[in-house]
Each structure stands twice: as C-alpha cells, then as structure tokens.
C-alpha cells in the first residue's frame, strides 16, 4: 500500500499562556489573589506598589460604583486583546505608563470590619502518628503502625485485608511481617483518638467505642451484646426479634439502643474535616441593605495599588536608542518586563470589572433574599441566565461563582449558593428547589414518629401543596437534607 502525502488547511483555536493566566486570575479568591500578586512582583521588578496613589484612591473611590460600560466581556479573553504587542514608542511615554495602575474602585465604608473565617489545624494522619509515638512501643511497631494509619480510609475504617498489607510490606518495603503481628499493632491503633479508628466494619467500630468507656453500665454491656449477636436485625429494626433472642426487657432494649445512638459510626469524619490545612475565607463583596435598597461593594485589597516602576520606565527611555549591543539587549529585557507588567495590571482591572458586573447581576436577581435573608426567597437562577444577561460566557460566571464570597448581615455566603434550580408547580409557577426542600422538611417534622411517612406519601403531601415531584426526587432531596429513610426515622 502506497504512502500518500497530502496538504490540508483547517482553522483551530488555541488559548495563549496569557489567556490561560487571565482565566486563572479571574477564578482566584481575594486571599489567593494577594499571594498571586506577591509572586508576580517577585519575578517582575517592573511592578511596584503605588503608595501615593493608595491615599488618593481611598478618598476618591470610597463609595464609587463601577460603570457597566467599563465591563469587558469574555470576548476580550477569547480574542486575545490583553497582552498584545505594544509599539516601542508606547513605552517611551511616561504619561501613558501612569494610566497603568491597579486599584479597587468600589469599596464598602467599613472595609476593616470584613468578616474573616479561619480554619487552622494539622493533618489528620499526622495527629494519629503523633499519638502512636507517645505510646511505649518498639520502633518496629511504630513503623508498622504508621503504615496501617496511612491505609485508613477517609471515614476512619481499615478495609484492606491484613494479608494484602503484609504482602505489600514484604514486596514493596522489604519488611517481612505476619498477619498476627499486624493484628497486634492494629490493637494499638484502636487505642488512639478518636476511638474507633482502624475498625474493619461498623460493628467493630461501635464496639470499640463502648469498650473504651471507663465506667461500663448494664446498658453498655447490653449494647455490646446486641452489636455482637443482633447487628443484622438491628439494621433492619427488628427490635422484637432482638428482645426475644437476647432475653431483654422492653426497658433494657430501649436503654441499650440509646447507648448505641450516642456512638459515632464515622470516627474520622469530623476529625478529618477539622484537620484540613489552614484556609482563610475573606469576602470578595459586601452587601448593605437600606430600607428597600440593596447596595453591592467590592471589598478593597489590603495592598496599595500597583503601577509600573518609575526606575524601569526611565531605563527603557535611556536605552531605547543606545548603540551598544549590551544596552540594546538590556532594553529588550526591560521592554518585556514592562509589557508583562502592563498586561498583568490590565488583567487585574478586567478581573475587577468582570466580578462587579457578574455580582451586580446576581444580586439583582436575588434582591428579595438579600432583603429578608430567607432561603425560600431565593429565585430559580442558573449560570446561563447571568451569562446571557451580561453577554459573557458561562465558564466565566462559573469561575466567579465557585470561589467568591459575599458578606451580608445574615453571614458570609458563597456566590454559588445563590444559584438554585427551578421547579414548576401545578399552577405553572416556577419556584426554587430550596422552597420545596423546606416544605419537605416540614412534612417530616409533623409526621407521626411511630409511623413515619414514606417517600411516596411525602410526594402526595407535597402535591396537595401544589408541588408536583416524583418519589425519586423526594428521595434525592431527602438525602441532600440528610434525612434518614422511613425505617430509620421510626421510633418504637
């Protein structure tokens, strides 16, 4: 078969590195942006803080709103208008460089009172290893224990077989170990906090917690007996069968079940949540409410505005017409740094204008919620609606919504939470799913606990209130609200 060589022409679109960087800048929250700016200034000496401009900006822009006409749509990103090549003459004009300053132009009156949320702790696995090192055990037991701890899953369970772990240690780390030795070390891990860590299944996890109690009562022993001999019946809520087989009275059964309900089925759940690396949530916007008026402000950054270095501008002017080769090379380097600084400042300006435009459109749609603070007042809203309204791209709206926060009198809210799905009622009206979930929650609260409502029955009650949803949708919303199923809500 002959090899043929052909030539064809086709049109493709590719994002430049600057366009990708612009998208990344847009997605950054305030705290990350400040670090990003610091990194950029570290590698680009043409960027510097404008301390004099900061004082003027604080006076002139204390409560200035951004003009909608200043907004640059996502077309500016796709067409690559930022970061385009500049003529050399552009760099020679000091006045043109003065226009390149980045500053927040929309501030709330009380920037210093912004709500900040700090979460700080250590890695969950490290905490367990630290506890293990405090035990009076051998170095080998510490080594094996550390390996087992790293095999624990996110919920705190160790589901891998001991035989598989022993084989892995033998082949990967060249450490021969028996299953019995691993079992012995696992018992040491069971002594660590939170109690139940390293359990192989739910039964073992709950029993470990009961056995760890210093003062064991009759109820504790009955609870252990139920878990050891009637775990399957307990999961199916066959209480009469448990009572008869274990020869327990009605009162003894109820007291033992109360003990079991106090236990934590996922010992590492809350511990891992608290052990995430330190993060800071700093609102990007503030919303104030005055009578029937809602005002949106972009929170100012902590640093002064940026500008292009005077020193670099002067050097560029001095080296522009130099005949010496080394000076011309220096001029090229300076030009590239000034160009990069110009682009970076312009990207920050576009980020700010885009954020204000998107946030203003969202607040306009959800005005009633900002006035009342009631989640049921959230209107159905999707990303596409905002994108079409401001003539932007859905991906731009998504980047802003997923990482930006708004500070309100009702607390700090993730913008993403202001987007809710819609549902049509029997009357043809469109309501938010949040409203339906609240009605579902009301049905569950008012139900007879001895005979809870099934998902089908909840769907019928919601239909009586003009909310037409299927049983599977009820089950979905119930799981999102973390409401147990009918069998697990039943009280004997």
Write the pLDDT tens digit of every residue in 214-231. Answer: 888 888 999 999 999 988
What's the rounded Cα separation, in Å, for the pair 224 and 13?
65
Pick the last residue of a domain from 274, 305, 336. 274
Q: Decide if 105 is inside a domain.
A: yes
Give the pairing type, strands 285-290 and 405-408: parallel
Q: Hey, CA dihedral for 177, 181, 185, 187, is it positive or negative?
A: positive
More confident: 329 or 247: 247
Retrieve residue 439's tokens.
Answer: 């009605």
- pLDDT tens-place string over residues 405-444: 888 888 888 888 888 877 777 777 777 787 888 888 889 8
Residues 269 and 129 both lie in one domain: yes
Residues 190 and 93 both lie in one domain: no
What's the rounded Cα separation, in Å, for the pair 380 and 312?
52
DSSP per-residue string spanning 19-59: HHHHHHHHH--HHHHHHHHHHHHHH-TTEEE-HHHHHHHHH
- Give, for 235, the enclosing helix (H) or strand (E): helix 231-235
Residues 410 and 308 both lie in one domain: yes
Q: Is residue 8 scored above 60 in pLDDT? A: yes
* CA triple 361-363-369, angle to 5 deg: 145
More confident: 316 or 486: 486
- Structural contact between residues 148 and 131, judged by C-beta atoms closer than 8 angstroms: no
Residue 420: the pLDDT is 81
Pick the last residue of a domain from 244, 274, 304. 274
**CB within 8 A of 85, min separation 6: which ones?**
339
Share of the chain above pLDDT 70, in %: 77
CATH of the domain at 426: 1.10.10.60
- pLDDT tens-place string over residues 443-481: 988 888 888 888 888 988 888 888 888 888 888 888 888
Q: Decide if 477 is inside a domain.
A: yes
**CB within 8 A of 109, min separation 6: which ones?**
62, 63
More confident: 250 or 51: 250
Q: Is residue 127 scored above 70 in pLDDT? A: yes
Residue closest to 319 by CA, chosen among 327, 308, 307, 329: 327
User: Which has the minimum average pLDDT: 168-182, 313-327, 390-404?
Assistant: 313-327
pTM for this prediction:
0.53
What's the rounded Cα separation, in Å, for the pair 459 and 456?
5
- Structural contact between residues 94 and 313, judged by C-beta atoms closer than 8 angstroms: yes
Residues 360 and 481 both lie in one domain: no
Look at residue 119 and give its three-state secondary structure. strand
Q: Is residue 118 scored above 50 in pLDDT? A: no
Residue 159: the pLDDT is 87
Residue 302: the pLDDT is 58
Residues 361 and 317 both lie in one domain: yes
Residues 136 and 186 both lie in one domain: yes
Residues 432 and 469 both lie in one domain: yes
Residues 236 and 130 both lie in one domain: yes
Segment 114-119 mean pLDDT = 44
User: Which has the minimum average pLDDT: 44-53, 107-116, 236-245, 322-331?
Assistant: 107-116
DSSP per-residue string spanning 400-444: HHTT-EEEETTEEEEGGGG---EEE-TTS-EEEHHHHHHHHHHHH
Q: Decide if 52 is inside a domain.
A: yes
Question: Residue 292: is it exposed, middle or buried by C-beta count within 10 angstroms (0-12/13-18/19+)?
Answer: exposed
Residue 76: the pLDDT is 38
Residue 450: the pLDDT is 85
Residue 476: the pLDDT is 85
Which residue range(s) make up the domain with 258? 124-274
Average pLDDT for the chain: 77
Residue 319: the pLDDT is 67
Q: What is the residue whose two structure tokens read 């999707």?
A: 382
Total of domains in the chain: 3
- Structural contact between residues 491 and 448, judged by C-beta atoms closer than 8 angstroms: no
- pLDDT tens-place string over residues 263-319: 888 887 655 555 444 456 788 888 988 878 888 888 866 556 888 887 877 777 776
Q: Decide if 37 is inside a domain.
A: no
DSSP per-residue string spanning 441-487: HHHHHHS-TTSPPPHHHHHHHHHHTT----HHHHHHHHHHTTPPPHH
Residue 84: the pLDDT is 39
Residues 136 and 257 both lie in one domain: yes
Retrieve residue 316's tokens.
Answer: 């560029």
* Measured distance between the N- and C-terminal CA atoms of the chain, rounded to whole angstroms: 80
More confident: 207 or 303: 207
Alpha helices of 151-235 — where are they, by DSSP H? Answer: 162-172, 179-189, 202-211, 218-229, 231-235
Q: Decide if 216 is inside a domain.
A: yes
Pick the last residue of a domain from 222, 253, 274. 274
Q: Decide if 8 is inside a domain.
A: no
More confident: 14 or 116: 14
Residue closest to 331 by CA, chosen among 99, 49, 46, 83: 46
What's the rounded Cα separation, in Å, for the pair 219 and 244?
17
* CA triple 396-400-402, angle to 5 deg: 115
- Structural contact between residues 337 and 45, judged by C-beta atoms closer than 8 angstroms: yes
Residues 289 and 351 both lie in one domain: yes
Residues 130 and 270 both lie in one domain: yes
Residues 147 and 216 both lie in one domain: yes
Residue 362: the pLDDT is 92
What's the rounded Cα separation, in Å, for the pair 385 and 416?
14
What's the rounded Cα separation, in Å, for the pair 133 and 146?
9
More confident: 56 or 143: 143
- pLDDT tens-place string over residues 328-375: 677 777 788 888 888 888 888 888 888 899 999 999 988 888 888 887
- Structural contact between residues 283 and 407, judged by C-beta atoms closer than 8 angstroms: yes
- pLDDT tens-place string over residues 13-72: 665 666 677 777 888 877 778 888 888 888 888 888 776 655 555 555 444 443 444 433
Q: Decide if 409 is inside a domain.
A: yes
Q: Is residue 99 scored above 70 in pLDDT? A: no
Look at residue 34 and give its three-state secondary structure. helix
What's the rounded Cα separation, in Å, for the pair 394 and 416?
13
Look at residue 353 and give its three-state secondary structure. helix
Segment 396-407 mean pLDDT = 85
Q: Is residue 78 scored above 70 in pLDDT? A: no
Q: Decide if 372 is inside a domain.
A: yes
């Amino acid at each position: 078969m002959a090899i043929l060589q052909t030539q064809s022409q086709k049109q493709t679109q590719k994002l430049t590195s600057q366009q990708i960087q612009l998208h990344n800048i847009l997605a950054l929250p305030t705290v990350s942006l400040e670090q990003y700016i610091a990194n950029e200034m570290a590698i680009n000496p043409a960027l510097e803080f404008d301390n004099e401009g900061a004082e003027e900006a604080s006076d002139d822009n204390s409560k200035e709103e951004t003009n909608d006409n200043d907004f640059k749509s996502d077309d500016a990103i796709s067409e690559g208008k930022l970061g385009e090549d500049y003529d050399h003459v552009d760099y020679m004009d000091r006045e043109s460089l003065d226009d390149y300053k980045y500053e927040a132009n929309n501030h709330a009156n009380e920037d210093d009172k912004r709500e900040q949320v700090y979460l700080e702790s250590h890695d969950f696995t490290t905490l367990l290893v630290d506890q293990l090192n405090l035990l009076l055990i051998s170095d080998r037991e510490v080594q094996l224990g550390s390996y087992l701890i790293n095999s624990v899953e996110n919920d705190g369970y160790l589901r891998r077989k001991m035989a598989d772990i022993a084989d892995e240690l033998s082949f990967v780390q060249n450490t021969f170990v028996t299953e019995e030795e691993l079992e012995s070390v696992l018992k040491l891990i069971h002594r660590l906090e939170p109690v139940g860590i390293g359990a192989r299944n739910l039964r073992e996890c709950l029993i470990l917690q009961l056995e760890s109690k210093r003062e064991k009562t009759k109820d504790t022993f009955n609870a252990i007996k139920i878990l050891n001999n009637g775990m399957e019946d307990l999961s199916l809520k066959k209480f009469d069968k448990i009572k008869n087989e274990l020869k327990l009275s009605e009162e003894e059964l109820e007291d033992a079940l109360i003990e079991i309900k106090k236990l934590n089925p996922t010992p590492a759940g809350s511990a891992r949540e608290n052990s995430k690396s330190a993060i800071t949530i700093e609102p990007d916007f503030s919303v104030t409410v005055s009578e029937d008026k809602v005002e949106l402000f972009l929170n100012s950054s902590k640093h002064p505005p940026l500008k292009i270095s005077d020193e670099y501008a002067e050097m560029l002017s001095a080296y522009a017409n130099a005949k010496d080769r080394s000076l011309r090379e220096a001029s090229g380097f300076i030009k590239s740094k000034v160009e990069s600084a110009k682009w970076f400042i312009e990207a920050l300006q576009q980020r700010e204008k885009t954020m204000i435009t998107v946030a203003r459109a969202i607040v306009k749609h959800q005005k009633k919620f900002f006035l009342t603070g009631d989640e049921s007042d959230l209107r159905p809203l999707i990303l596409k609606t905002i994108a079409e309204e401001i003539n932007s791209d859905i991906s731009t709206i998504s980047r802003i919504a997923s990482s930006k926060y708004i500070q309100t009198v009702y607390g700090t809210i993730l913008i993403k939470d202001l987007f809710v799905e819609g549902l049509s009622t029997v009357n043809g009206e469109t309501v938010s799913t949040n409203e339906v979930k609240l009605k579902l929650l009301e049905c569950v609260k008012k139900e007879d606990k001895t005979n809870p409502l099934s998902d089908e029955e909840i769907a019928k009650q919601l239909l009586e209130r003009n909310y037409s949803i299927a049983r599977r949708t009820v089950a979905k919303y119930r799981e999102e609200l973390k409401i147990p199923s009918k069998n697990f809500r039943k009280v004997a």
